[in-house]
Amino acid sequence: MLARWGLIIHRYRTLIFALSAVVLALSIGVLARGGVLAPANFPMTEADRGQAVLERELGRPGSTSFLVIARARRGTVDDEGFRSALDRSIAPIKNDPRVAQLVVPFDLAPTVAAILRSRDSRAVVLQASVRGDMRSAQTAFREMRARLRPDPAVELTLTGNLAYKEDLDRTLEKDLFKGELVSAPLALLVLLLVFGSIAAASLPVGVGGLAVVAGMAGVFLTSRSMDVTQYSLNVTSLVGLGVAIDYALFIVNRFRDELALGHPTDQALSRTLATAGRAVAFSGVAVAIGMSGLLFYKGTFLASMGVAGALVVALAVLFALTLLPALLSLLGPRVNALRIVKTRENSSDAGGFWRRIARWVMRRPLLVLAPTLALTLAAGVPFLRMQMAAASVTVLPPHVEARRGYDTLVRDFPDIGANRVTVVQRLPEGASTTDEARVRASFAYSRRLAAIPGVARVESYVDLDPTLDADGYVNVYGLPDMFRPTLLEEARKYVSTERVIIFSLITRGDSHSETARSVVRAARAMRPSGPGESWVAGPTALDIDTTAYVLSKSPMAIGFVMIMTALVLFVLLGSVILPIKAVLMNLLSLTASFGALVWIFEDGHLRTILRFEPQPVEPVLPVILFCAVFGLSMDYEVLMLTRMQEEYLRSKDNTKAVAEGLERSARLVTSAAAIMVAVFSAFALADVVILKAVGVGMALAVALDATIVRVLIVPATMRLFGDLNWWAPAPLAKLYHALDLGHAEVSDEGDRAPDSDPPEEPATKPAES
């Protein structure tokens, strides 16, 4: 079918050029208009529900809030003139109708205001909550931030959730530009070394660029109907550029091979699409399946990332099988024009390097396989002790404003910067937090919470005055409101309402520590007594809930990707053994790369070179890497196995087929992997830690897959299984032949298109494989 497709491409190439130009123009138009990107999100968890009660009932800062740190440039916040200078500075926020609440410490009771005051009395914190959903709140925040003006007496630093989301998006945009700026020239350099020709090297970069532009336009169009994050744009660029260039590399390389064998352009194109085109189509399906695994995380930003990744892969395959063949049909032998590097004339001679490697491995398969497997598995050992924590402002580099503000809070505002595990209790209708029975129960519950290992202290309405015992609080809250101590009553309103009580557990460890996690688990096992509802919230609780959600969905996602990939490989190869082996090989390279990620980003090795701060692994990182890399690894698997299959169908000699297949594909696989590694490694320059980790993780996985796994483990296992590699039960073999989607035989005498040009002279020098 793809062989006939080559004749169609040859005939209608002008139409294909026109349609591609239209797609490019429309994509540029969509990118110029842009779109509204949403923040990373997860379904409501227990921690989210508790936080929602805090926001609604007590006016606590939530997801649509931000903090303003106001620091006196000279003197302290008590100096004359600071208050008026502060009022002038925050006027754009204070006077904006979209601000639902602005908490200024000077308007609060002294006991509460002290929390919002720095140790050295040179700074205060203001809390602002914005009306509307997250998208509208981000837009409002962006506009208010732009209107802020510096004051000679006050320095403002914005942090908190809205500031973090805004700065994260801006930093990701810069990282995307930086990654593309570095990766495209590196990919072009590798292509020049592979082809030795500017014309041939330019085609994959051009097609890859078009796929990325169209893919990003598709992401913006998708954002009009579903929540799409900035991460999706980065993944579109990362995956799209890598696979599009690789697919084009496979097509161009095979086309040059066919020209070198003396075939005219139309026959060379048909044979190319029947072989390399078939491999690209199946490889694209495998990568799209991998990215589709992210759709199992419905309601999260991972789903939009899966849509974006699958979309750009589909476009990469589309352009590789339409626009690129049309360009090759137009160029013909001129694809080798503008040579700047002399390349080897023939890479498939009997003494070829890769053939010798394959035969050496297959002469001693167990001797090679045992230590290689042991080494790869040992590299994955750190993965067993991986700690996970949801992304926070610490993923930003220290120079970004939201991160600087966070560091200031931790350093100068101990009460705000301290990690809190918050137990939120809501009483039923008609109940009161100041009833004697409730006060006594709350007092006892607070003391049980304080006894949890890792809790430094508890803040609640029965912990405001250390001199009072349970009877004392009962007496105070039994008084009418007007007779209660003013300071105590003001403070009580900050930690409780008529029906809601909060118990804030200050932990001895930070939010990512095991100490804080054990406090959350203990608090959830120690619920308040009596009727009503309760939730345990806070950053650590959110970490635990997010990780639990990801883990709960992962078995289905992983199972889907593995099973569907194996099915695609069966349709391609007609074997049941090779797909199972391919899946296991992918898991092997992923295990090693996951172990390396923990060793680097959690343990902190290479922190100076890569410029990051060690921290737990983001829960979604292994998921993204699995879904992306599992499909990407199939590029090389499909290319190698189809080459081996071609030789096996000719010779029926498994050993010869493996040696010839590796000889004909290994250099191309190495080149394709080098391009992938170049593209992915460029994103190691990112400032956002999770994007840096994705780039490094994907580069490591591809490098391991294309070297140790494909060069050593695959030939060894192919030799051990022998002819069994190509076996399938009779019913499945019959199904394979009935589908007729597997190996496509191509003859040396392919028909030319009826209106094709006369055969060109064959290339003077054979292209290398």
**Quick one: pLDDT at residue 403?**
93
Q: Which residue bears the tokens 């106001």?
A: 70
Amino acid 39: pLDDT:
65
Tokens of 560: 């889907």
Residue 597 has which token pair? 């990620």
pLDDT profile of the chain (769 residues), mean per 10: 67 87 90 71 82 81 85 88 88 89 82 84 91 84 87 90 89 83 82 82 86 85 75 76 84 86 84 84 86 87 84 90 90 82 49 74 88 91 86 86 92 85 90 88 93 92 86 84 62 75 90 90 91 90 90 92 89 87 87 91 88 85 87 76 83 84 78 83 85 87 84 87 87 78 48 41 38
Question: d(Cα 575, Cα 174) in Å, to the nearest integer?
Answer: 46
d(CA 98, CA 357): 68
Q: What are phi and psi of 99, to 5 degrees?
A: -85, 115
Assigned token pair, 602 = 């959690």
What per-residue confidence (pLDDT) applies to 740?
65
| Alpha carbon separation from 660 to 252, 356, 520 (Å, rounded) | 20, 10, 59
Length of the chain counted residue by residue: 769
Kindly state the DSSP code that residue 537 receives in the 8-state scheme.
E
Tell me how crowded residue 569 is: count the other CB atoms within 10 A of its CB. Answer: 25
What CA–CA distances, in Å, run from 22 to 18, 19, 26, 27? 6, 5, 6, 8
Q: What's the rounded Cα separation, in Å, for the pair 263 and 703?
A: 34
**pLDDT attached to residue 156:** 92
CB 42 within 8 A of CB 300: yes
Query: Do 119 and 412 touch, CB atoms closer than 8 A?
Result: yes
* Coil/strand/helix, residue 765: coil
Sequence-separated contacts (24+) of 55-61 with Cβ below 8 Å: 55/129, 57/426, 57/497, 57/499, 57/500, 58/494, 58/495, 58/496, 58/497, 58/500, 58/502, 59/101, 59/103, 59/129, 61/127, 61/128, 61/129, 61/160, 61/161
Phi-psi region of 338 (alpha: psi -120 to 50; beta: other; left: phi over 0): left
Of residues 468, 525, 463, the one with CA closest to residue 496 = 463
Distance CA 620, CA 553 (A): 11
Phi, psi of 600 (to 5 degrees): -85, -60
Do the beta carbons of residue 413 and residue 118 sit within 8 Å? yes
Please answer whether residues 335 and 200 qualify as being in contact, where contact means their C-beta atoms are separated by less than 8 angstroms: yes
The contacts of residue 272 (CB under 8 Å, 6+ apart) are: 6, 251, 254, 255, 258, 325, 328
- Between CA 516 and CA 527, with CA 521 as vertex, the angle to 5 degrees is 120
Confidence at residue 482, expressed as pLDDT on a 0 to 100 scale: 65
Q: What is the dihedral of CA 270, 275, 279, 284, to 10 degrees?
A: 0
Handedness of CA 560, 739, 726, 733 (dihedral sign): positive
Query: d(Cα 249, Cα 128) in Å, to the nearest integer?
Result: 53
Residue 153, pLDDT score: 87
Q: Is the dihedral of CA 61, 65, 67, 68 positive or negative?
A: negative
The pLDDT value given to residue 751: 41
pLDDT score at 424: 92
